Structure 1
Amino acid sequence: MSPILCRLSALALALALFACSHVPVSTIWALRNFDAAAFDPAVLRAAVRLPETFEPQKGGVTLKIGWWRDGEESVKHELKLALKETTASEDVAPLAGEKKAGARIFAYRIDPADYAAIRARQKEFLEEKARNPGKTHGSFGVGADACRRGDFPEGPLLTTTYLRTQPSGPYLTVLKNLDMREAATKEKSLDELVPPCEKFADRAETPMLVNR
């Protein structure tokens, strides 16, 4: 599943999501000035709240940034990086108010080893945009692939995602209470969207903010 996908056109953020009705208007407003070509990779944080029987696949929470010219989206210049789980108090504490019974929250940051690659892609985009103003577009997205331990629980399977773009700012709710049962389609079943975790290597990271 891909809980959040942010697309930029001429550096103005718009949200192009699987289920736009799940994106709070307050978040769209708060992100109106977010500049993916200038954000500090050391500051960005993301988080996902999942049913307690779900967990992110190892390396499955990713950042994707890229750019393309008009008419050339099929040859987009793109960079995709796995985010690194964080349990630092300054990253975890702001999510305390998002705790819910029967759910777990996982927080993520960009691996410092990837800062240089991101800044290089930002520089590349700005240089291309200067050469072709109005004809160069960028994209920015954070996605998560989850798996499950055991059978699916009864009832809705609600997923919520968050993004923090300011060092002392709050986490913004990007995709709120998306029911994975509703996300399933004939093309991709629920079992395919959230496969058993046994299909993957055991997670190396430790989950936080567990609610039992």
Structure 2
Amino acid sequence: MVGCMLAAGRTCGRWLSRCVLLTALGGCGHVPVASMIELAKIDFATTDFAELRAAATLPPPLAPRRDQTRLKLMVAFKDGEREERVFVLREVTDPAERAQVARLGAGTTAFRLDPADAAKLAEARTEIKQRKAEGRRGSVTLSVEPGACRTAPLPAGPLPVSTYLRTAETGGYVALTRDADLIALIGADKIAEIPLCDGA
């Protein structure tokens, strides 16, 4: 598992604030200024989770681990109680979508929620709205936790990664990081924990 917390959009200071907090696939570099304008359009209260996509460009020999990328919903109440729900993100297989993702660069993979999980996430949002109406206060964090493996020993030197987000509001993929050095971002100890891919 690689990745660290990255704020994308405005700070989640209250229920359903106009923001998304995401873990960048591959690390947490600074979000490009132009991207912040697009990311500010995302509204957790109304966004269509069926349209949510997360993508990453990984350098060889890194590759995404099948069914190991997760979408996590964390709800933190003012009284200290916390709730967490985790959903599996699947690799995008639609040819038209894959063609769009390919334009982001070689080695880019995109992920989406299964329709059933998108519906469950929408149900969770409805529950959060109900709790807000009942007077319970807190914050919402939506994060992506990627799973990566390696097909060969890692080379010496930087491991540049780029990460992206697409929602109904943004329309296209918005860069969260560009060519960020994974080693500098998460540390050599975490890099050493990346397992070999099945069959490698």
Instruction: Output the TM-score relative to the length of structure 1.
Output: 0.78
Alignment correspondent of 1:181 = 183
Q: Deviations over 1:162-212 (max 9, x none)?
A: 1110288110011222212213437x44211x22225xxx69xxxxxxxxx
Structure-1 separation of matches of 2:67 and 2:131: 31
Say if 2:93 is the partner of 1:87.
yes
**2:76 aligned to 53, 68, 81, which one?**
68
Is the 8 Å Cα contact of residues 43 and 167 (structure 1) preserved in structure 2?
Answer: no
Residues matched between the structures, number: 192
Is the 8 Å Cα contact of residues 4 and 28 (structure 2) preserved in structure 1?
Answer: no
AA at the equivalent of 1:76: R
Gaps of 5+ in 1: 204-212
Structure-2 separation of matches of 1:190 and 1:122: 35
Q: State which drifts further: 139-148 or 15-24.
A: 15-24
Structure-2 separation of matches of 1:110 and 1:149: 26
**1:109 aligned to 90, 100, 112, which one?**
112
Residues 175 and 15 of structure 1: CA distance in aligned 2, closer, same or farther (over 3 Å): farther
Alignment correspondent of 1:97 = 103
Alignment correspondent of 1:124 = 127
Alignment correspondent of 1:197 = 197
Q: State which drifts further: 8-17 or 149-158.
A: 8-17
Map residues 132-171 of structure 1 onto 2, 5 A cutoff.
132=135, 135-166=137-168, 169-171=171-173
Say if 2:25 is the partner of 1:25.
no
Structure-1 separation of matches of 2:60 and 2:142: 28
Is the 8 Å Cα contact of residues 59 and 160 (structure 2) preserved in structure 1?
Answer: yes
AA at the equivalent of 2:64: P
Any idea what SS the aligned residue of 1:9 has? coil
Q: Deviations over 1:88-139 (max 9, x none)?
A: 1332232333214xxx111111111212311111001111122237x32111
AA at the equivalent of 2:108: I
Q: CA deviation at 1:20?
A: 5.4
Q: Deviations over 1:134-169 (max 9, x none)?
A: x32111112212110111123311111111102881
Structure-2 separation of matches of 1:2 and 1:184: 7
Gaps of 5+ in 2: none
Structure-2 separation of matches of 1:140 and 1:5: 11
Instruction: Output the TM-score relative to the length of structure 2.
Output: 0.82
Any idea what SS the aligned residue of 2:73 has? strand
Residues 158 and 95 of structure 1: CA distance in aligned 2, closer, same or farther (over 3 Å): same
